[in-house]
Amino acid sequence: MSTLSTRRTPAPYLFLAPAVLLFGLFLAIPIGYTVYLSLRGTKVSGLGLGKGARQEVFTGLDNYAAAIGDGELWAGWLRVLGYGTLVLVVMLGLALLFALLLDSAHVRLARFSRIAIFLPFAVPGVAATLLWGFLYLPSLSPIRQVLDVDLLGSGTVVLSMANVAVWGGVGFNMLVLYTALRAVPRDYYEAARLDGASEVQIALRIKIPILIPAIILTTVFSIIATVQVFTEPTTLRPLTNTISSTWSPLMKVYRDAFVTGDIYSAAATSIVIAAISLVLSFGFLRVVRDRAFGEG
């Protein structure tokens, strides 16, 4: 083996250093500190008044046991499950449909259409929710005047929140799928057309099977984003009394940490939420892998 191949150089480590530093400062250290807080609690002496009356102590897994046994947390998960199912089906379905339409041979104004579909994704979530929130208000909503439906009522507020998420998320997922389609050689489609295949048959038998990895990727990202829903219900909450302060799991974490001041319980709950998110994401990947390759 030559001396050149065995000689060590610090250059790769210098290139990696900024990424490792940022990962440690903004991901690894906060996660570690959250785990530390989740194992702590407050011990109150006497009436809890005076210096030293409240002390931070090690509580072990007590906060996790309380979080897992909290009915409000699981009620929030049930609401998010229904919300997420609606959002994922509609958002990814529309994203796939738009990607296929924009990639078709006879599409017109493709560049304008791509920008128009993607543009809502560029609007910050809070601003988008406020815009839709004013359209939902009974006193201002033109939709209410046409349909005579309370869009912030107990039976429709989930649909209203899902609409905001779909409106903002379709463009990003469409762009991912459309980019994957543009990487496919055009010869595949030309050969199919010579064999008499229609555009619908090309989409169903060629494009969608090729898009499976990209569809899986967008689905995983969408699952992670959906279980962490916070912006839409929090922003709409002042406009209606049908959204509680613990409507979603992250809203409960926010309430515990910054309203009631129990940061230890909030830390444990956030770790539980992260664990459930990982289970859902990797569970979906496992199911997809097993069906694709016949494992398990």
Q: Return the pLDDT at 273.
A: 93
Average pLDDT over residues 188-193: 86
The pTM (predicted TM-score) of the whole model is 0.84
Question: Cα Rg for the chain, rounded, in angstroms?
Answer: 25
Average pLDDT over all residues of the chain: 87
Residue 80 CA to residue 64 CA, distance in Å, equals 21
Asked whether the predicted pLDDT for residue 296 surpasses 50, the reply is no
- pLDDT more than 90, % of the chain: 53
Q: CATH 1.10.3720.10 in the chain, residues?
A: 70-293
Q: Determine the Cα angle at 284 with ends 159 and 175, to 5°.
A: 65
Measured torsion, CA atoms of residues 234, 240, 245, 249, in degrees rounded to the nearest 10: -60
Q: Return the pLDDT at 1.
A: 46
Q: Return the pLDDT at 86.
A: 95
Of the pLDDT bands very low, low, confident and very high (cuts 50, 70, 90), residue 144 is: confident
**Residue range 80-126, pLDDT digits in tens:** 999 999 999 999 999 999 999 998 867 778 788 889 999 999 999 99
Asked whether the predicted pLDDT for residue 36 surpasses 90, the reply is yes
Range name among 118-132, 141-155, 199-213, 228-242 with the lowest pLDDT average: 141-155
Average pLDDT over residues 201-215: 90
Buried b (16+ CB within 10 A) or exposed e, 140-171: ebeebeeeeebbbeeeebbebbbbbbbbbbbb
Domain 70-293 listed as CATH 3.40.50.720: no
Q: Return the pLDDT at 254.
A: 94
Q: Return the pLDDT at 292.
A: 63
Q: Determine the Cα angle at 169 with ends 127 and 252, to 5°.
A: 65
